[in-house]
Amino acid sequence: MTTLSQTPSMPLKPPLSLSERFVKGFRKAVPTILITTLGFVLMLVFLMPLGYMLTTAFKSDDQASAQNAPLWPAKAVTFNYNGQDLPLYEVPTENGIKQWALVKGYREDSDFVDPEHPENGIFNWKGRYRTLDPVYVFSPTMENFQMAWDQVNFALLFRNTFIIAGLSTIGTLLSCILVAYGFARFPIPGKNILFIVLISTIVLPAQATIIPLYLLFTKIGWTGTWLPLIVPAFFANAYDVFLLRQYLMSVPKELDEAAMIDGAGPLRILWSVIIPQAIPAITAVTLFHFFWSWNEYFTPLVYLVGKDNLYPISVGIGSYFGTFNVYPGRAMATAVLAILLPALMFFLAQRQFMQGIVITGVEK
């Protein structure tokens, strides 16, 4: 007779109560909440200058110089009494906060009129009116943009900047793609040493080479023209070459070999095989250099001094800031107008830009 051994059954855990499940879920969510909160705070700190620029651009000059004015674009509310526009203040009373129009303010008391009951006439309120908050309503103005556009001559600045940035970007793409293609694909003797020398030029500041370059361009008669800003872009730069080389090295060489079997030469391989695969990296380089050239201030200021009709937008609005710095609304309006085109370009090409930065390579 065979006896079957019975294994003792494991005792079942009692189900968690509602409070225990809440505590357990909260503990799991705490790291996510902290990281999200930290990221949100850092984002706000990073965007504060941009927020200040946008809000100030839509403010009137009166609000910029007024005390107790809100941070957002607004205008003071007034009440017309006997042909006079009187400012409204929030006055504390026994019945709560009232909005009264100030007729005459003194040191320790003031004369007000109630806009809801103007028939009651003028009455006296004991207190210092300077401690009261004026009444404002949200009211953005476009006057700053109109005045900035007329005074800065943005049409000329946009034309100059677009020509300089466009031509230098074309030169950068042509030269950097060829140099990166050579470093990524061809067995050049001493290639690694040459690449290290090229990359080491990144740490060389532009201020260290500006004097010899200025003397050189002066000797050949290029100062006072756009040539020093455009021609050097056709000789590549280390940063863009590095970005393109790293991306091209991720493109499988089997594609090149297949094209060579079909009779394609190096330039045909570059045009028909490499460039279509490297569109994300090329887009990133295009945006990087275009934005850099659009915002460049020091180099155009050195070579175009005294040539107001050739100034790019960075130098043009810089001189405008120095002249009209007492009008912060107009100054911020010029900054908003200056970043509209780069912001639009980044918004339209952000997907390709992010792919180029990540350098994802090509799926085999």
pLDDT in tens, 95-123: 888 898 898 888 888 899 989 888 888 88
Rg (CA), the chain: 33
CA 99 to chain centre: 40
What predicted TM-score, i.e. pTM, was given to this entire model?
Answer: 0.73
| Higher local confidence (pLDDT), 322 or 201 | 201
Please write the tens of the pLDDT for every residue from 204-239. 888 888 889 999 999 999 998 999 999 999 998 888
Q: How many CA atoms lie within 13 A of 179 on its CB side?
A: 22
Instruction: Of 41-50, 133-142, 172-181, 305-314, give the range with the top mean pLDDT.
Output: 172-181
* Cβ-based burial of 256 (10 A; exposed 0-12, middle 13-18, buried ≥19): middle
The CA-atom distances, in angstroms, between 298 and each of 156, 181, 192, 341 are 19, 31, 33, 21
Judge whether 302 and 19 are in contact, CB under 8 Å: no
Q: Kindly indicate the confidence band of residue 16, based on its pLDDT and cuts at 50, 70 and 90.
A: low
Strand 136-138 with 74-76, pairing: antiparallel
Find, among 64, 111, 66, 107, the residue nearest to 84 by Cα: 111
What confidence score (pLDDT) does residue 358 get? Answer: 58
